[in-house]
Every structure is written in structure tokens, then in C-alpha cells.
Structure 1
Amino acid sequence: MSNIKQQFKLEGKVAIITGSSKGIGKAIARGLAENGATVVISSRDQDACDTVVAEFETAGLKAIGIACHIGKEDQRQNLVKQTVTQLGGIDILVNNAAINPVFGPLEDAGEAIFDKIMEVNLKAPWMLSNRVLASMRERGGGSIINIASVEALTPGMGLGLYSTSKAALLMLTKNQAKEWGKHGIRSNAVCPGLIKTKFSAALWQNEKILQKIEKTLPSGRMGMPEEMEGLVCLLASDAGAYMTGGVYTADGGYMIAG
């Protein structure tokens, strides 16, 4: 076994990160690229992808941008096909893109909202993972990292359908790990707590809610997107070679807060 610094290195690896034009996805993409991977920046807007790619290239990092609405099958197919064509294959998939269009009681959400949440937060990671399977098998293995949420582990208020979609994502992760281990493919889930992103702005921009949350957290503060990088780099690399089917929190102690 090589030394620990070598094990974290990702030179020659290709990583797709969905929803990576901003927030947690962008931070994760940067972390993987800084460790040597060539990253595929992907979000619905090609211009937004290109902006991040230019920023990364200026920093000496390897990146390409491929727009993809992960809720659409033809675009998922194109993302995988283009990545394989341009970069030769796929070693790492980070299913990060997600939506939460509603905040409120379960009974107030319409059926269309339910379908939309499940389409993007659960069906898309399942389908996209299936799509990268062939390339990972060909390359002798790979790492799938599904970004879930502490909401998958304990119910909050007003996020019922989002929580349900993320809880299902954890079981998908475990099934991927169990079924695809024979191909050298590992699958793990990361559950961030409250992280300062546009996605969670409704929570942290409300001073009263933020103070209430931070008061209960052992860390005493919300997290930053960059604080998700280390865990994902571990799970993506040989340093995490024996880690599969796991669910890992990065939540400032939210899950133990009273």
C-alpha cells in the first residue's frame, strides 16, 4: 500500500459532479480537482458551467463543462456519453444536484410537487448511476457518492417530502454498494447539515431560525460548502478503499444536538 498522501491523490481519475456550478457541488468539484482529478462541471445552464471551468482552469485545475438537467433522461445520457467521449471514461460520480421547491406541511404539497422532488432527488441519481456503471466496470471500479442530508436521518419541520426523498437515497446507496461491489464499485452517502448555500438560504437568512439552530449545535455555527470537500475526497480516493455502503454526516453535531 502506498503512503497516505499518495492514497488521496486522484491523478488520472475522471469525476462527474452534478449541480456543480455553485454551492456544495462546486466546492466538492474544486476539492477533487485540487487532488488531481479531471472534473466535469454540470448544471442546467451551460454558461454557468463554463464560468466555473474558466475559474478552475485559471487556478491550474483540469475541468470541462457539460450542461445537464438531471431530471431529463436524454440529458443524463448525453452527460455520460460526452464525458466518455472527451475524457475516456468515468471513475467518480457525485450525485449532488437536488431540489426542494416547497417548505411547509406534508398535506399542503400537491402531487406534482411530490413527483418533481422524487424525479430529481431520487430517480435521477439512480438512473445516472446506472448510466456510469458500464464505464466504471470497464475501468475496474469506481466511487459513487450520493449527497443526501441530515434530513434523511431525522425529520425536521416543513421539509417532509425532501426528507423522504433523501432517506430513500440512503437505501439506494446501500443497494448500489451491495450489488456493485463485485465490480470494484463503492457507493457511499454524505449527509450535510445546515450549510451556507443559496439552496438553504430560507433557513440561514432568517436570523431567528439561524440563531435557534446555531444555539443547539455543538459546533455553534452553520457549515460552509468547502467543509464538505474533505469527506468526499476521502470517499472518492484509495484512502477510502474499504468504505462502502456507509452513511456519513458532516453536520457540526446536528445529529447529537439536544
Structure 2
Amino acid sequence: MASLKRFEGKVAVVTASTQGIGFSIAERLGLEGASVVISSRRQKNVDEAAEALRKKGIEVLGLVCHVLNAEQRKNLIEKTVEKYGKIDVLVSNAAVNPSVSTILETKESVLDKLWEINVKAAILLLKDAAPHLKKGGSIVLISSIAGYQPDSGLAMYGVTKTALLGLTKALAAEMAPEIRVNCVAPGFVPTHFSDFLTSNESIVSASQANNKNGLLERTLLKRLGTTNDMAAATAFLASDDASYVTGETIIVSGGMQSRL
């Protein structure tokens, strides 16, 4: 990885990027030469993540951004352009799963939150960023294997991630030929975000496939994914190595069943 410098001179914005998959994506792009802009809802998290990246020699700008906050979204883009003059890569990674209910038992307020953060906010962020994306730029949306096979306890979350698969196709057509739009659908990756899958008793009891051993058995490679696995796939799609790839989703799941 250290020898790859596919993003020299490029600027990459990654949302929800102070921990987990988002942080690893920002780190990978930065180690390959990009100036990275990271964001999170909390200043403390932003400061700590930015410092960790700087210690690795990465040029980084850290900003607070709750993706549902229009002013903060606008600030994220404006501050990026103010400092770096452009945007070459945008990775939309922000997501929530505030419910373990079945779809028909999910409260309306939770349905709204899932839709607004997981889908709507990505569209609004792209509306803000589009005028500043350089020709030849790349957008990567982070979906989930749950978009193909929603599990119990993940059903409505999975539906919003399915929406991102369609959004990828639609945006790729709309933004071609100047901008490429692709998607990464991670399998199960142990992170703080996914802890609830193996710790929530109602999910595990409802589907033994959601405990660690069950998840391992569902993969052909017999291991869980890592944040670095997801970062590598994202870096490929964002780079010129994927210059003839747009409108596609790469599933990074160790062979876990996925396709619709």
C-alpha cells in the first residue's frame, strides 16, 4: 500500500470518517497521497482522528458535520474548496441503524431518520459538492450487503442500503461522462457501529446466523471483513485504475451470499 500513490495531488472528502470503515478509507486515500477531509458529528472525534492521520504523514482537514445539518454540510464543502480549491473524490459513508424492529413495527420517526441519514443526506451532500467536483472525479457510496439480503433486525436499514444501489445507477447516468459514481457493499465488519449485531439478544436469538460463528459460516473465506478490506475496494473505485467503471457496486463480503 505504501508504494501506491494513486491520489497524489487529489482531494478526497469522506463523511463519517473518524472511526471504523470511514476512518480506514480516509487513511488509505491519504497514504496514497490524497489530501483528505474527514468529518464527524463530534469535535473531539474529529480532532483525535485528524491527529492520528497527521502522525502518519497525511495532509488532513477535520470538520464537524452532521449530514442532516444543511449548514454543516455546506460548511464541509466550502471549507474544503477554500483550503484545497477542488474536490476529486467524495465518499459518502454516513449511516445509522437506530432500530431492531421489524419493518411494520418500526416507528414513523425511526423510518424518517433511517431514510434521511442513509439516503437523503447523501443526495443533499452531492448537490452541494457537485459544482466543485473536478472532471474525472469519483463518487463512492457505501452501502451494505444488507441491501441485498436484509436480515431480521436489519430489515429497514437494509432497505435504505438497497436504495443506494439504485442511487448509484441513477447518479452514474446523470453525472456521466465527467464524474464516475460507484458503490461498495461491505459484508460484516466488526466495528463499533456493528457491535449491536452480535450483542443484541433479540437479534441473536431471532437469527443464530447473526452471532460470530454464524457470520463466519456464511462467508466462503471463513473470516470476517476488516475496515482495511473496505478501504482497499473504495480506493480502487475512486482511483484511475477504475477509470472505465461507473454505476457498479462491489460486494466485499468474503463470498457471503448477496446478489438479488
TM range (shorter): over 0.9
CA contact (8 A) 2:218 2:257 kept: no
Equivalent runs, 1:36-51 vs 2, <5 Å: 36-51=33-48
1:143 & 1:216 partners in 2: Cα distance? 32
2:150 & 2:114 partners in 1: Cα distance? 17
Aligned residues: 249
The one-character-per-residue Cα deviations of 1:77-124 (angstroms, maximum 9, x if unpaired) are 111111111111111010001000011211221000000010100001
Alpha-carbon RMSD across the aligned residues, in angstroms, is 1.7
Partner of 1:20: 17
CA shift at 1:160, angstroms? Answer: 1.6
Percent identity over the alignment is 37
Correspondent of 1:197 among 191, 198, 208: 191
CA shift at 1:141, angstroms? Answer: 2.9
2:85 & 2:43 partners in 1: Cα distance? 21
CA contact (8 A) 2:149 2:258 kept: no
2:258 & 2:19 partners in 1: Cα distance? 29
Correspondent of 2:170 among 155, 175, 194: 175
SS at structure 1 position matched to 2:87: coil
Moved segments of 4+, more than 6 Å: none
Q: Output the TM-score relative to the length of structure 2.
A: 0.91
- Tell me if 1:154 matches 2:156: no
CA shift at 1:204, angstroms? Answer: 3.5
CA contact (8 A) 1:195 1:224 kept: yes
Q: For residue 245 of structure 1, what is the amino acid of its counterpart?
A: G
Q: For residue 11 of structure 1, what is the amino acid of its counterpart?
A: E
CA shift at 1:216, angstroms? Answer: 2.5
Partner of 1:188: 182
CA shift at 1:219, angstroms? Answer: 1.4
CA shift at 1:205, angstroms? Answer: 4.2
Q: Output the TM-score relative to the length of structure 1.
A: 0.92
Q: For residue 157 of structure 2, what is the amino acid of its counterpart?
A: Y
* Structure 2 residue runs without a partner (length 5+): none
* Structure 1 residue runs without a partner (length 5+): none
SS at structure 1 position matched to 2:72: helix
Equivalent runs, 1:40-189 vs 2, <5 Å: 40-136=37-133, 139-182=134-177, 184-189=178-183
